[in-house]
Amino acid sequence: MLLKYTLFKINLLPIFCVCLLTVEQTNGQNTDAQKNLKVFLDGLDNYDQYIKVHIAYIDYVRERLTADVHILAIPQSTASSGTQYTLNFYGQGRFSSKNDTLKYAVPPTATDDEIRQSLTQLIKLGLVQYQSHLPGFDKLSVVSTDEMAEQPGH
């Protein structure tokens, strides 16, 4: 009888622990989902990995309809042999009334690195209006290049 009770007790312990871990992970995921902006990038295939590395404080989703913000990039050739990117920010769900469009004219002499950096900066600026409505927005800071140049050590 003691042997049966011991086996029963040992078998229930892992099940109980797994249930606790599952509840804790689920609660953690809900908290993170509410804190972080969910973004779907569309039309930035050449630059999306760079953007994801350099804007790491948001969650990137694979399904457009699960995103808080859908960013659609439309490149268009210009008369001066350059490219103009139109970035459309479509708010979805809790941000459905917040949409914006930002444009970036790429000079014909721009390098891929300059284009990646500029698009990343433009996306950061476009996301500020959404980030400012989330918990932890007080940790974000917007600093102009003029202000950075005025700081000692720059």
Question: Would you say 64 and 75 are in contact if contact means Cβ atoms under 8 Å apart?
Answer: no
Residue 135 is predicted with a pLDDT of 83
Query: Cα 8 to the chain's mean position, in Å?
Result: 47
Question: Would you say 93 and 68 are in contact if contact means Cβ atoms under 8 Å apart?
Answer: yes
Q: In angstroms, rounded to a whole number, what is the distance separating the alpha carbons of residues 118 and 10?
A: 59
Q: In angstroms, rounded to a whole number, what is the distance separating the alpha carbons of residues 66 and 63?
A: 6
The whole-model pTM stands at: 0.71
Q: In angstroms, rounded to a whole number, what is the distance separating the alpha carbons of residues 148 and 154?
A: 7
Q: What is the CATH number of domain 36-150?
A: 3.40.50
Question: Would you say 105 and 74 are in contact if contact means Cβ atoms under 8 Å apart?
Answer: no
Question: Would you say 57 and 77 are in contact if contact means Cβ atoms under 8 Å apart?
Answer: no
Residue 8 is predicted with a pLDDT of 45
Low-confidence ranges of the chain (pLDDT < 50): 1-3, 5-10, 12-33
Residue 122 is predicted with a pLDDT of 96
Residue 15 is predicted with a pLDDT of 42
